Amino acid sequence: MANEEGPAINAFTELDILILGNACPWVTLVLYGALLTPLNKKAIGDDARPVSAEDRDCATWHKAAQQSQNSAVRRLVTPQQLAVAVSGGVEVKAWGIRLLQEEAERNGSSFSINGEDRINAHNDFFREKAVTSIREAAETDTGLKPFARLADNILRLQPQIYTRTAEDLTGIRKLCTSQRGGAQGNATTNIIYPAAMNNALKSVEQSCNVIIRAIQDDATTVGETSEIFGHDKARERLNSALGACGNLTHPGKSVAFCLLPADRALVPADVHQPSYNGYLGSGSDPAKWAL
């Protein structure tokens, strides 16, 4: 058995270097070619997600690479980002917001939640800026150097994207080349995107008197209403900071909950304020929809 394991391990190591290490760039580029599959997010409507399905030759290694870098990236992006290797991250976020709501309610103080979702954000960030941001983080935390190299190797490529067709005997045709963001079918996108947005979330939270928590591209800002909404306030600053990272300035969906009814007038018209029955505990729970 030992004699059989040796060659197998060596072959896997060579594949790792070839696919993730760009040892032979043209081979890596060919292997990175992917089939575009639009998947409807809902049963009704045309809100499709462009899922890029890679060959198993690459997908397996990308999943392994993601798992190996989870801890280092978590150290970088927490506490603002709770989607990277945080057990029960969604529950942690929801309960944290709820506790802040209850505290504000007891004190009778101004408190609002602003939840925003950016459509196809993972596919639309600027790769060069993402790599630069991750490299700068690795200069401070040397444990991020393997991740910085991984992100550089993956994002510098512009693989071909194919789609199905009945007009060619092969059944596929070239649609375009991938030039922005990361493929949603690539496991490393789930750690590269949060790392690329990390500076934006942290800088806004530090410069404004608010708390920001995110699950991937779903970011929620909580704090006093006047600190979130208005000129040069947290929401405006966050949209600007994310816009500098990619085409992410305008969220696809923005909702708000205000603890004090009088604060609702401070919320911009483009932010949806769902109907709810009174305060926390008296009807719908804002912490559930502000994820």
The two beta strands, 218-223 and 34-40, are unpaired
Alpha-carbon distance values, 40 to 23, 80, 97, 117 (Å): 37, 29, 30, 17
Q: What is the mean pLDDT of residues 204-219?
A: 95
The per-residue pLDDT for 250 is: 76
The answer on pLDDT for 1 being more than 50 is no
Least reliable range by pLDDT among 200-209, 248-257, 274-283: 274-283
Dihedral sign (CA 249, 120, 290, 283): positive
50-98 pLDDT, tens digit each: 777 777 777 888 888 899 999 999 999 999 999 999 999 999 999 999 9
What pTM, to 2 d.p., does this model score? 0.85
Sheet with 160-164: list strands edge to edge.
Answer: 48-54, 34-40, 160-164, 172-177
Percent of all residues in the chain with a pLDDT value above 70, rounded to a whole number: 86
Contact predicate 154/182, CB 8 Å: yes
Would you kindly state where each structural domain of the chain is located, as residue ranges? 32-289
Q: pLDDT tier at 16 (50, 70, 90 boundaries)?
A: low
Average pLDDT, stretch 107-112?
95
Would you say residue 287 has pLDDT above 70?
no
* Residue 73, amino acid: V
pLDDT at position 251, please?
Answer: 78
